[in-house]
């Protein structure tokens, strides 16, 4: 084993720089990088000497500049662009009738008792919190291996990190939202059919939908207002830190439960709040009247 300096081996130095690679990626602005390329530069070695058998490529979702004004342009076509935006009340208005109908149907037509409907419904709400954590961590922050995949990640979630003040993209727009809901419901129905409990899906899925509505509304509130209660401040801070400190932590938006379970919760006792960074994440008060008077 080749030694470098005072007792430090080449392998030691290699793994030390491998650890530092995470820091490098945090400073990248959607940089297209290779693990071998970065390590070769840091170790001042030819790429062929880096002991990694597979050189894999991936994009990072970090931005040098956070935009406090405007919106990301997601499509060149203005009609497609229009359908990437929505208002929270539109989504609430779309799903509340579906939730009400399915709960009524599960009790009146599928002979589920009110107790069973309520318990299953609450189970759906709880399951959403787990689903929210998984999709935020592994889909919204997916380490893409191609430019096309990177664009998809940016389309789904990356634009929010670059334009955190964009109010119109906190909920998934109606058309893709309904398509996604149909796929998830069909998947639940299929899995329930294996166990012969399809009737319960009509009580479980509405709870899942309500969980989504709560998630979207909480996300909106975290970017719009200060926490209304002291006990909610950790939830606000966890999401703020996810934006400006480290994107590999703080995946829970409506709840910090799964961040605690899976060890991705920020240690809030050691994190000092950066008020200027938080201010950049908050929706700006509309100064229209003031501007018109000037």
Q: Which domain holds residue 39?
A: 3-59
Distances (CA, A) of 191 to 60, 139, 196, 199: 35, 22, 9, 12
Query: What is the 8-class DSSP label of residue 281?
Result: H
Is 44's pLDDT higher than 90? no
Do 156 and 280 fall within a single domain?
Answer: yes
Distances (CA, A) of 127 to 94, 131, 191: 21, 6, 15
Domain contains 73: no
Condensed to tens digits (0 to 9), the pLDDT of residues 250-264 reads 999 999 999 999 999
Do 99 and 50 fall within a single domain?
Answer: no
Cα 105 from Cα 98, distance rounded (Å): 10
**Boundary (domain end) residue, out of 59, 90, 106:** 59
pLDDT at res. 288: 41
Cα 191 from Cα 197, distance rounded (Å): 9
Do 45 and 97 fall within a single domain?
Answer: no
Do 41 and 100 fall within a single domain?
Answer: no
Do 32 and 140 fall within a single domain?
Answer: no
Domain contains 275: yes
Cα 101 from Cα 261, distance rounded (Å): 34
**Best mean pLDDT range from 129-143, 154-168, 185-199:** 185-199
Residue 216 CB neighbour total at 10 angstroms:
20
Count of positions (residues) in the chain = 294
Domain contains 68: no
Q: Report which of residues 3 and 69 the model is more confident about.
A: 69
Q: Which of 191, 185, 210, 201 is nearest to 112 (CA)?
A: 201
Domain contains 102: yes
Instruction: Kindly state the tokens that stand for 8.
Output: 């430090």
Condensed to tens digits (0 to 9), the pLDDT of residues 236-291 reads 999 999 998 888 899 999 999 999 999 999 999 999 888 888 888 888 655 443 33
DSSP per residue, 76-95: SSHHHHHTT---HHHHHHHH
Cα 185 from Cα 51, distance rounded (Å): 46
Do 12 and 43 fall within a single domain?
Answer: yes
Residue with tokens 């491998």: 18
CA-CA-CA-CA dihedral for 126, 227, 169, 180, to nearest 10: 0
End-to-end C-alpha distance for the chain, whole angstroms: 72
Domain contains 72: no
Cα 289 from Cα 58, distance rounded (Å): 46
Instruction: Kindly state the tokens that stand for 192.
Output: 């329930």
Distances (CA, A) of 249 to 48, 100, 119, 246: 34, 35, 31, 6
State phi, psi for 248 to the nearest 5 degrees: -95, 10
Domain contains 69: no
Residue with tokens 């008792």: 113
Do 162 and 260 fall within a single domain?
Answer: yes
Do 140 and 217 fall within a single domain?
Answer: yes
Condensed to tens digits (0 to 9), the pLDDT of residues 72-104 reads 888 899 999 999 999 999 999 999 999 999 999
Domain contains 219: yes
Condensed to tens digits (0 to 9), the pLDDT of residues 165-224 reads 889 999 999 999 999 999 999 999 999 999 999 999 999 999 999 999 999 999 999 999
Do 88 and 225 fall within a single domain?
Answer: yes
Q: Which of 80, 243, 94 is nearest to 182 (CA)?
A: 94
Do 151 and 225 fall within a single domain?
Answer: yes
Do 19 and 99 fall within a single domain?
Answer: no
Instruction: Kindly state the tokens that stand for 53.
Output: 């058998």
Distances (CA, A) of 100 to 120, 177, 233: 14, 18, 32
Domain contains 71: no
Do 287 and 142 fall within a single domain?
Answer: yes
Count of domains observed in the chain: 2
């Amino acid at each position: 084993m080749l030694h470098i300096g005072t007792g430090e081996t080449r392998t030691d130095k290699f793994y030390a720089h491998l650890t530092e690679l995470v820091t490098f990626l945090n400073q990248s602005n959607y940089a297209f990088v290779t693990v071998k390329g970065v390590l070769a530069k840091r170790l001042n070695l030819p790429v062929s000497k880096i002991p990694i058998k597979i050189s894999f490529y991936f994009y990072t979702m970090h931005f040098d500049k956070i935009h406090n004004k405007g919106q990301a342009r997601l499509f060149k076509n203005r009609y497609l662009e229009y359908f990437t935006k929505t208002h929270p009340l539109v989504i609430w208005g779309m799903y509340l009738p579906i939730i009400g109908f399915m709960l009524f149907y599960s009790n009146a037509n599928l002979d589920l008792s009110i107790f069973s409907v309520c318990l299953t419904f609450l189970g759906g709400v709880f399951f959403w919190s787990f689903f929210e954590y998984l999709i935020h961590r592994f889909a919204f922050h997916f380490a893409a291996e191609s430019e096309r995949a990177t664009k998809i990640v940016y389309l789904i979630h990356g634009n929010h990190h670059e334009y955190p003040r964009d109010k119109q993209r906190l909920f998934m727009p109606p058309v893709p939202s309904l398509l996604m809901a149909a796929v998830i419901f069909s998947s639940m129905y299929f899995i329930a059919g294996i166990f012969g409990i399809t009737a319960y899906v009509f009580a479980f899925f509405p709870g899942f939908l309500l969980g989504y509505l709560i998630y979207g509304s909480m996300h909106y509130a975290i970017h719009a207002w200060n926490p209304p209660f002291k006990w909610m401040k950790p939830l606000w801070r966890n999401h703020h830190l996810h934006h400006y400190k480290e994107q590999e932590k703080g995946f829970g938006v409506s709840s910090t439960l799964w961040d605690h379970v899976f060890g991705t919760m920020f240690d809030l006792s050691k994190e000092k709040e950066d008020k200027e960074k938080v201010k950049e994440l908050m929706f700006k008060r509309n100064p229209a009247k003031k501007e018109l008077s000037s």
